[in-house]
A and B are shown apart, each in its own frame.
Chain A
Amino acid sequence: MDRLRSRLTRRDSDSGADDEIRTDGGSEAPTGGGTFTRLKHSDAVQALPFWLPPALLMGLFVYGAASWNLLISLTDWSGLLQPEYTNLNLEMYTRMLSDASFIAAFRNTIVLLVAFTVISLAAGLVLAILVDQNIRFENTFRTIYLLPMALSFVVTAIFWSWMYNPSTGTINVVLSTIGLDAFTMDWLGDTRTRLAAIIFALTWQFSGYAMVVYLAGLRAIPDSHYEAAKVDGASSFKMYWRVIVPQLSAATTSAAVVLMVFGLKAFDFIYVMFGDNPGRSADILAVMMFRVAFSRSQWAYGAAVATVLFLMALAVVAPYLYMQYKRGDL
């Protein structure tokens, strides 16, 4: 009965068609006794021409291509021939497990993702708290900390290759100027520091992003929470650590997911710095995939490495989306 009452049916004198107007913001498709004309004018049908073309384009390139990639990874396609989709098997995946360069790239990918995400979140949180202290020129500070986000990986890689240059780079020059000669080194040349140097430069580029997300989170916390902590005599550090940070968990989660996705896309950055072969110490799956497939024409193997990357993204994103859905944010 509710449904009946909430609907008005109006006869349109021009077209003679039934138009359904819902006053409840109607969340269901017309049911029971729906004539053809009513169906034609339902929201579901009217919505089709709007979302279907983009969905098809995206479906083809995103989901179609990802599925095709999975299929290719099950073949043994290499070289100049075309792939053969008979005799599909898991050969490429078993090959991975005994490939030392895959294992190194996998390890580096995990290290890069975790370290980059954690350090960027921490740096972003500190930046956000500092900027949130009622300072003057807040906009200027924010703008400068976020500026690296506007640059491409190619540009960032060029700047940081120069910063890390052992003789003319700013880092070593500054270190020796302040008397820390002992700490100067060939940051990108030394295999022990290469991955750390990459992570540091990526943090430079993306910590501003974490700052923006945390700032929004901080501004959403009512002043009364700060005051309550102060009345309890908590020091500033304690107040943030015990009271404020726990309330930022939603911001932390969403920033972490996005940062990990940026990390997975760090290909451009490493490719510009080292070409497609940064060596065992800094090879990541994204670069290895490109090298294996596009430089060595081992297409099926490259596709298999790509599938691992896809699964890694899925492992991060699926729980996040599910959580969002549960919270009713979708």
Chain B
Amino acid sequence: MATADGTDQSGLAAYREEVDAQRAALYAVLGGLILFYLSPLWGGLTTAFKTQAGFVNTTPIVPPTPEWFTLEAWELAFATMQGGLINSVMFVVPATVLSAVFGSLAAYGLTKLSWRGQVGILVIFLAGVFLPYQSVLVPLRQFWSAVDLAGLLAFAPFLAERADLLELTITHTAYGIPICTILFRSYYKTMDDDMIEAAKIDGANALRIYRRIVFPLSLPMFAVALIYQFTQVWNDLLFALVLITSRSNYVVTQSLNELQGAMAQDYNLQMAGAFIAALPTIIIYVVFGRQFAKGITGAS
């Protein structure tokens, strides 16, 4: 230990320089990674503002000069996808809310009330998260054609015309229950039981305890579950491909996929469409980043 004050100034300076150099390198790497993660979005954004000739004749990542600039792609993409956007909002909102509510109720029944066998049931809920959707597609289609929701709703034309969307709502609600249950369960596990015990002594039943104590305390977790479910359901294409048969009921991922298929080389239109479809989840992500991260890691 020969590092008394003032004896080894040059060594200390060299050390400081080395640390500074390391820091600079670290920030350079982190910045480079930002370029990598943002480049598809940045490139997409610049392309969406270019004319046809613009994205053919200019470097992809360079913003358009006034000569190539246009809003046409956005207008056309929006006009094409408008119906899909409306349909998606109509089914995603109820599916999201319903699965969060069911998940909260199930988690309450399986954690805050103690009884034999609850771990077994919980494992069954948990395993549902990992189900590959392909392994239910054929039965799903059989099931919904057997139920004939449109026929059952014939008395209400508004609903009958949107029977496909209703099927999608119920399906997504069912498949959202496992993850929502797990999210609420991990939250309830850390919740203090004192108030619940006190309420029990006062003679409150389970429903009353849920309504008056557990539900209000769950609101932060409802935010997490709603954000998670909204992103998942809004972004899904597979179930929509299987269940939505009539074009007027196409959801946003479907209409974007159609746009992509029909306009394979019109990159400006595709990119504008991609941003329009992604906007709700991007906004949610930017505004509620913390809850979003909590939701996606909730299952681990």
Which A residues are closer than 8 A to B by beta carbons?
Answer: 10, 12, 14, 19, 21-23, 25-29, 41-44, 46-55, 57-66, 68-69, 72, 83, 127, 130-131, 133, 135, 139, 141, 143-163, 165, 168-170, 173, 204, 208-209, 212-213, 216, 251, 254-255, 257-258, 261, 264-265, 267-268, 271-272, 275, 285-286, 289-290, 293-294, 299, 302-303, 305-307, 309-310, 312-313, 316-317, 321, 325, 330
Contacts and interface: CB of A to CB of B under 8 A. Distances in A.
Given A264-B132, A271-B237, A321-B123, A46 B138 contact: no
A4 B162 CA distance: 58
A53 B102 contact: yes
B135 A127 contact: no
B140 A54 contact: no
Contacts of A52: 109
- Per DSSP, chain A at the interface is helix
A79 to B, nearest CB: 13
Interface residues of B, number: 104
Given A50-B210, A144-B34, A61 B174 contact: yes
A173 B56 CA distance: 12
Contacts of B140: 61, 65
Given A47-B118, A152-B281, A58 B34 contact: no
Contacts of A53: 102, 105
B85 interface: no
B171 interface: yes
Nearest to A255: B300
Interface stretch (B3-11, B64-72, B266-274): B266-274
B237 A154 contact: yes
B270 A62 contact: no
A329 B124 CA distance: 15
B297 A65 contact: no
Given A141-B30, A265-B133, A216 B297 contact: yes
Contact of A209 (B56, B137, B271, B296): B296
B134 A155 contact: no
Contact of A50 (B128, B137, B206, B234): B206
Given A28-B116, A144-B38, A170-B43, A154 B253 contact: yes
Contact of B286 (A12, A143, A165, A251): A143
B237 A159 contact: no
Nearest to A13: B203
A315 B153 CA distance: 42
B29 interface: yes
Given A58-B177, A258-B300, A159 B44 contact: yes
A69 B139 contact: yes
